[in-house]
Amino acid sequence: MDIAHPNPGSRAADLGGHEGHEHGEHVASSHGHLKPEQWLLRTCLFAGMGAYFAHLWISGNLGYYINTRFVWLSVVAALVFFMLGASSLYSFLRARFGGADLAYGHRELAGHSHPPITFPLLLVLAAPLAFGLLVPSRPLGASAVGGDLVPTAPTDSSLAASFNSLEWTVVDWLRVFYYSGNPDRLNGREADVVGFVYRRAGDPKGHFMVARFLMSCCSADASAVGVPVAWDRSDDLPVDTWVRVRGPVKVQQFGKNALPVIEAKTVDASIGPPAQPYLYP
């Protein structure tokens, strides 16, 4: 499998180009020349990538993977992929119909070798497309939490933007709880938060955590945070259900930590995932 040494042909080709112009053409035709099918393969690969990025952008699913402030980068990527695809298509047409002498990359890029896409390499390069097409596009959920859900210190000390606690997100509640100096002042304030249901092993009956993923940049750095909810019908709620929880908050011992616990009056389990599943710090 030719993974670690991407350019086996380039040694001879580069040295040939360097040693003298009179050898350049010969070297280029023996090493730098790709068969038309290779150009077609590249065309498909780049066009597929471009189409995938464009699809993510248009469908709005891009927000499942990256922070939405980076969306413009994906649009740029789609454009560049299409440009590379067009360039490969042009090379294919010249290689297929223009004859070997006109094959693009032959005249203008003598001494440069075009790496062929072998079958193992194709498996690697097509992996993003395969995962993108075969695995349903979904935001991170309960199975990705993999932790305690209660950070010892949330990532940002800035206080919630609003004085109205009904507008606070799960993260805002934790921020205010950890940084306001007097967490007991949270007692009795009304909460209205959206998140997915998560349960930790050993949490008391009649409770669940309403959780959100906090994402700085992309889904690779997303980590979950959550606030406990006390609700008498908690145990009927399946994990990963998106819920809207409303009720007053009481700071109390929950598991190992003192936490703001929402004593839910209503839990709406029919809301479905929000358009923007992640919170940004």
22-41: which residues touch another protein (CB under 8 A)? 24-25, 28
Q: How far is CA 206 from CA 129, 231, 248, 251, in A?
A: 43, 6, 16, 17
Nearer to another protein by C-beta: 42 or 207?
42
Look at strands 278-279 and 207-214 and give their pairing: parallel
Alpha carbon 163 to chain centroid, angstroms = 32
Nearer to another protein by C-beta: 138 or 185?
138
Instruction: Report which secondary-structure segment, H or E, holds 17.
Output: helix 10-19
CB of 154 to another protein, least distance (A): 7
- The 106-125 contact track toward another protein, x by CB under 8 A, reads xxxxxxx-xx-x---x--xx
The residue range among 82-90, 183-191, 258-266, 267-275 that interacts with another protein, by the rule CB under 8 A, is 82-90
* Cβ 262 vs Cβ 229: under 8 Å: yes
Nearer to another protein by C-beta: 42 or 191?
42
By the rule CB under 8 A, 44 interacts with another protein: no
Nearer to another protein by C-beta: 39 or 231?
39
- What CA–CA distance (Å, rounded) separates 206 from 9? 66
Nearer to another protein by C-beta: 95 or 193?
95
By the rule CB under 8 A, 247 interacts with another protein: no
- Please select the residue that binds another protein; options are 59, 131, 235, 271, rule is CB under 8 A: 131
Closest by CA to 60, choosing from 218, 273, 276, is: 276
* Cβ 170 vs Cβ 225: under 8 Å: yes
Nearer to another protein by C-beta: 52 or 231?
52
- Please select the residue that binds another protein; options are 31, 40, 56, 193, rule is CB under 8 A: 56
- Contacts with another protein in 175-234 (CB under 8 A)? 216-223
Instruction: Report which secondary-structure segment, H or E, holds 11.
Output: helix 10-19
Number of residues binding to another protein, judged by CB under 8 A? 82
Q: For residue 3, give every residue at least 6 positions away whose Cβ sits within 8 Å of its Cβ, in sequence order, or none.
A: 120, 121, 124
